């Protein structure tokens, strides 16, 4: 059982997969609901401060390098586009709510990694960025948890 906890924790730290893959995995493999939420949310939030402070610098440094340039440029453009989208929809006052919703609504290309990178590119302050991302991760966890439990229970009911 410990193996499933570790795998769920690690999945939740993978960019683009994050909570959207970790929580269904945890619940489908018998991890009780509350521990599954805790393990996946902690794993998803663990890289956020590092992303906020260092990702932009590393991506800018590697954007013109031979082997990393293409991928790093893609990541910078993704973060920049996400930041522009957030700022356009929310303006400066609604940026916190927009970041929370961007992270919290589990769609491809959204999540803690992209939201934190966007906040860093937009030069949002650390505290409000982390709080918005944390609340967004909580929202995504609720959505994914409810959806996963409905699917898992439906499979057991009809399978």
Among candidate residues 40, 68, 56, the one with its CA nearest the CA of residue 137: 40
Q: Domain of 106?
A: 46-158
The total domain count for the chain is 1
Tell whether 144 is covered by a domain: yes
Mean pLDDT of the 37-58 span:
93
Q: Does the pLDDT of residue 111 top 80, yes or no?
A: yes
At 88, give phi and psi (nearest 5°): -65, -45
Beta-carbon neighbour count of residue 63 at 10 Å? 17
Tell whether 29 is covered by a domain: no
Tokens of 140: 């995504």
pLDDT level of residue 92 (50, 70, 90 thresholds): low
How does pLDDT run across 15-24, given as a tens digit for each residue?
A: 889 999 999 9
Tell whether 20 is covered by a domain: no
Mean pLDDT of the 62-80 span:
87
Tell whether 52 is covered by a domain: yes
Concatenate the DSSP letters of all residues of 6-65 into one string.
HHHHHHHTSTTTHHHHHHHHHHHTT--HHHHHHHHHHHHHTTHHHIIIIIHHHHHHHTTS
Tokens of 152: 């898992």
The pLDDT of residue 50 is: 93
Beta-carbon neighbour count of residue 26 at 10 Å? 29
Tell whether 34 is covered by a domain: no
pLDDT level of residue 75 (50, 70, 90 thresholds): confident
Residues near 115 by beta carbon (within 8 Å), at least 6 away in sequence:
82, 99, 102, 103, 132, 133, 136
Tell whether 21 is covered by a domain: no
- Report the C-alpha gap between 57 and 67 in whole angstroms: 17
């Amino acid at each position: 059982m410990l193996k499933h906890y570790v795998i769920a924790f690690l999945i939740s730290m993978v960019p683009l997969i994050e909570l959207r893959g970790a929580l269904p995995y945890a619940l489908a493999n018998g991890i009780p609901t509350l521990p599954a939420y805790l393990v996946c949310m902690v794993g998803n939030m663990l890289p956020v401060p590092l992303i906020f402070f260092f990702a932009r610098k590393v991506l800018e440094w590697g954007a013109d390098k031979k082997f990393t340039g293409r991928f790093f440029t893609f990541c910078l453009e993704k973060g920049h586009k996400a930041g522009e989208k957030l700022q356009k929809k929310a303006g400066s006052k609604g940026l916190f709510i927009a970041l929370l919703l961007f992270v919290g609504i589990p769609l491809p290309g959204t999540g803690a990694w992209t939201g934190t990178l966007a906040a860093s590119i937009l030069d949002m302050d650390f505290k409000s960025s982390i709080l918005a991302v944390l609340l967004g991760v909580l929202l995504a966890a609720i959505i994914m948890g409810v959806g996963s439990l409905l699917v898992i229970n439906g499979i057991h009911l009809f399978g």
